[in-house]
């Protein structure tokens, strides 16, 4: 029974013994086990497409009151497999005058950073035997690593937009990069709040330190992170790159078959890794009311369960919010998320300086967060009341601001 | 030859191929991409030197910000969809001369200076120590604060320029 409760560590230890029994040196056995772990993580990332797409389609369909995919057996759940087979059998197309080198390397380059992020995601408590460390690489810049790899992906997007020699693709790529750069700032600010509170950038350590989930303790940082993560992932309501009515499919418009599938895979790999990171930073990662100590075998499943819940929140947002305009998108980042992130950061730094007791810190932070949110909403409602008609961005509006004329006048008359 | 040497040679190859690609490419956009490759190689050197923080910042700042700025500048200033620039222009003699002089100077310095070698391992808490030295009055607090004020001024200036009248 004890063996099963700590299955992963025991399996790895036994495997290590087996390899040692074959006369392999210690580092070689460790290397093989590391490769197996990497393989599992990569497969997990790619499996995300197979599991998350049916979930997305079904959940969104449910929210929009329609059946969704329902032909592929059973209940349309194997639609993703059918799609994968279709993608694999499609013809490879190279657009005329496309930059062949850039066009073909972009889909490869976009998947690499997406999969590399999995190196720092914590999936369970650290094994007591430090020699055989499973899962998250104990990188003491883990959080920064996540942000840095995210910024590498924007190069691949620019390559895709440029390489396909299509104006719509290029415009889509511009939009995405604009969005990625704008939302990197609030994302880093919210991550910084966590880093200041825990005093470490290693994701594993952040989970260990976290006694109360930080979503409860500092909701501002958590929600800022979620919003900017959704913008970084190009999820609706921030999916301006796929504004079909304006840009067709953005930077992916010239890609077909397996090349398109690579972008699709990268998107879902990123969604899963960001959800796991969110659960690690703000939901306590693999901790679940002491279950992770009683049965460490369940820790990865706790992490995945939390990640899927985060993904559900993303779907919920997608199902309920309309796509926001480009100026609203940039305005939301710079005029709302960045200032509130800065205030939150100062608050966290102050609290850390005031007290070292985690419970006192939690109470002070919660109080500060509530006050900050109240003041923010006060300021926003005041701003909305005296909002000038000159198209000033007010986020909570369902109707267009008065400055933007609804009755369309030709450009020449304006 | 230790493992470090092998990794060093691979990383040097990446950085040098990137650098050569920048100067020898006919298409400006591809040159910018080779520049990114070169930056990634340099980030690899930092990892080899066990300063992960600098490696990540290299990726974040150079690949994530500066390279994208360069690519945007290329796309907005050139005839974006037309490729094929000449590799050499009429100043190639002067440029080559400058490059040779610079290279000779660097090689001379490298050979002449007796580089001190210190037997110290990188401490495990190097990030904490870096952070503390940045706010330590005996450390780098003055340059750090001056740099932050400079950045703040730049930020305010950007806001003022971008502001609608």
Architecture of domain B1-86: Up-down Bundle (1.20)
Q: How far apart are CA B47 and CA A366, in angstroms?
A: 38
Size of interface A-B (CB pairs under 8 A): 65
Among the partner-chain residues A140, A145, A155, the one whose CB lies closest to the CB of B63 is A155
Q: What is the mean pLDDT of chain A?
A: 80
Q: Return the domain boundaries, chain A.
A: 2-73+81-387
Question: pLDDT under 50 in chain B at which residues?
Answer: none
Give the whole-angstrom CA distance, residue A129 versus residue A31: 16
Asked if the C-beta of A152 comes within 8 angstroms of chain B's C-beta atoms, the answer is yes
- Residues of chain A with pLDDT > 90, as a percent, come to 4
Question: What is the rounded distance in angstroms from the CA atom of residue A311 to the CA atom of residue B72?
Answer: 33
C-beta separation of B49 from B126 below 8 A? no
How far is it, in rounded angstroms, from Cα B165 to Cα B161?
Answer: 10
Residue A349 predicted with pLDDT over 80: yes
∠ CA(A163), CA(A101), CA(B41), 5° rounding?
105
Q: What is the largest CA-CA distance in chain B?
A: 65
- pLDDT band at A405, cuts 50/70/90? very low
**φ/ψ of residue A112, rounded to 5:** -60, -55
- pLDDT, position B150: 95
pLDDT bin (cut points 50, 70, 90) of residue A128 is low
Of residues A141, A154, A162, nearest to B64 (C-beta): A154
pLDDT at A138 over 80: no
Which of A178-187, A189-198, B122-131 holds the top average pLDDT?
Answer: A189-198
Residues A28 and A334: their CA atoms lie apart, in Å, by 50
pLDDT value, residue B100: 94
Q: Which of residues 186-205 of A touch B (CB under 8 A)?
A: 201
SS3 content of chain B, % helix, strand, coil (to 5): 75, 0, 25
Mean per-residue pLDDT, A377-387: 84
Q: A397 pLDDT band (50/70/90 cuts)?
A: very low
Closest chain A residue to B27, measured at CA: A99
CA distance A323 to A65: 19
Compute the distance between CA of residue A223 and CA of residue A269 in angstroms, rounded to an integer: 21
Domain ranges of chain B: 1-86, 124-165
Dihedral pair phi/psi, residue B104, rounded to 5°:
-60, -40
Percent helix, strand and coil across chain A, each to the nearest 5: 70, 0, 30
Tell me how close the Cα of B54 comes to any Cα of chain A, in angstroms: 10
Comparing A163-167, A301-305, A334-338, B87-91, which segment has the lowest mean pLDDT?
Answer: B87-91
d(CA B111, CA B150): 38
Q: Nearest residue on chain A to B64, judged by CA atoms? A: A151
Contact A158 B53 (CB under 8 A): no
Distance (Å, whole) CA A232 – CA A151 = 10
* A112 in B contact zone (CB under 8 Å): no
pLDDT tops 60 at residue A390 = no
Instruction: Give the model's confidence band at A408: pLDDT under 50 very low, under 70 low, under 90 confident, else very high.
Output: very low
A99, A144, A158 member nearest B56 (Cβ):
A144
Chain A residue numbers touching B148 (CB-CB < 8 A)? none
| Cα-based angle A100, A102, A106 (whole degrees, multiple of 5) | 125
The CA distance from B5 to A240, in Å, is 46
Please name the residue that has the structure tokens 């952070």.
B131
In chain B, residues with a C-beta closer than 8 Å to the C-beta of A162 are 29, 75
Task: At B131, list the tokens.
Answer: 């952070």
Render pLDDT for A272-296 as a digit per residue (tens, 0 to 9): 999 999 998 888 878 888 777 777 7
A13-36: per-residue pLDDT in tens?
788 888 888 877 877 887 888 888
Measured distance CA(A168)–CA(A161) in Å, rounded: 8
């Amino acid at each position: 029974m004890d063996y099963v409760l700590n299955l992963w560590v025991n399996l790895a230890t036994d495997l290590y013994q087996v390899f040692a029994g074959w006369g392999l040196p210690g580092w070689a056995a460790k290397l093989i086990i590391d490769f197996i772990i990497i393989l599992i993580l990569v497969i997990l990332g790619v499996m995300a497409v197979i599991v998350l797409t049916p979930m997305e389609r079904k959940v969104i369909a449910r929210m929009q009151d329609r059946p969704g995919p329902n032909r592929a057996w059973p209940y349309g759940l194997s639609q993703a497999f059918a799609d994968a087979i279709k993608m694999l059998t499609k013809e490879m197309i190279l657009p005329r005058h496309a930059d062949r080198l850039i066009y073909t390397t972009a889909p490869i380059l976009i998947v690499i950073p997406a999969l590399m992020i999995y190196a720092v995601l914590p999936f369970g408590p650290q094994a007591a035997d430090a020699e055989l460390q499973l899962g998250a690489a104990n990188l003491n810049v883990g959080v920064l690593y996540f942000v840095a790899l995210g910024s590498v992906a924007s190069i691949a997007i620019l390559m895709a937009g440029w390489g396909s020699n299509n104006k719509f693709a290029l415009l889509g790529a511009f939009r995405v990069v604009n969005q990625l750069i704008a939302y990197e700032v609030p994302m880093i600010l919210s991550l910084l709040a966590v880093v200041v509170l825990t005093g470490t950038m290693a994701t594993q350590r952040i989970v260990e330190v976290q006694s109360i989930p930080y979503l409860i303790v500092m909701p501002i940082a958590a929600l800022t992170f979620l919003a900017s993560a959704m913008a970084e992932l190009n999820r609706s309501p921030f999916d301006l790159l796929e504004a079909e009515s304006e840009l067709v499919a953005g930077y992916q418009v010239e890609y077909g078959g397996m090349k398109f599938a690579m972008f699709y895979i990268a998107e879902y790999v990123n969604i899963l890794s960001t959800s796991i990171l969110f659960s690690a930073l703000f939901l306590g990662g693999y901790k679940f009311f002491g279950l992770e100590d009683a049965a460490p075998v369940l820790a990865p499943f706790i992490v995945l369960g939390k990640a899927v819940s985060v993904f559900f929140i993303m779907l919920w947002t997608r199902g309920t919010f309309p796509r926001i305009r480009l100026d609203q998108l940039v305005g939301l980042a710079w005029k709302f998320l960045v200032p509130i992130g800065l205030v939150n950061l100062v608050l966290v730094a102050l609290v850390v300086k005031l007290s070292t007791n985690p419970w006192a810190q939690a109470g002070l932070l919660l109080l500060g967060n509530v006050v900050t949110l109240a003041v923010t909403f006060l300021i926003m409602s005041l701003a909305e009341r005296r909002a000038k008609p000159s198209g000033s961005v007010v986020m909570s509006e369902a109707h267009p601001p008065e400055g933007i004329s609804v009755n369309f006048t030709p450009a020449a008359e304006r | 030859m230790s493992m470090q040497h092998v990794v060093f040679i691979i990383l040097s190859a990446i950085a040098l191929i990137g650098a050569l690609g920048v100067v020898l490419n006919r298409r400006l956009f591809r040159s910018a991409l080779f520049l990114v490759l070169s930056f990634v190689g340099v980030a690899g050197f930092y990892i080899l030197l066990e300063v992960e923080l600098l490696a990540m910042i290299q990726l974040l700042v150079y690949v994530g910000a500066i390279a994208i700025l360069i690519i945007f500048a290329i796309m907005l200033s050139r005839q974006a969809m037309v490729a094929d620039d000449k590799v050499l222009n009429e100043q190639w003699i002067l440029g080559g001369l400058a490059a040779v002089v610079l290279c000779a100077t660097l090689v001379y310095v490298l050979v002449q200076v007796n580089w001190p070698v210190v037997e110290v391992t990188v401490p495990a808490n190097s990030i904490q120590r870096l952070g503390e030295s940045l706010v330590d009055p005996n450390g780098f607090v003055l340059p750090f604060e001056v740099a932050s004020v400079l950045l703040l001024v730049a930020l305010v200036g950007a806001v003022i320029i971008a502001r609608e009248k």
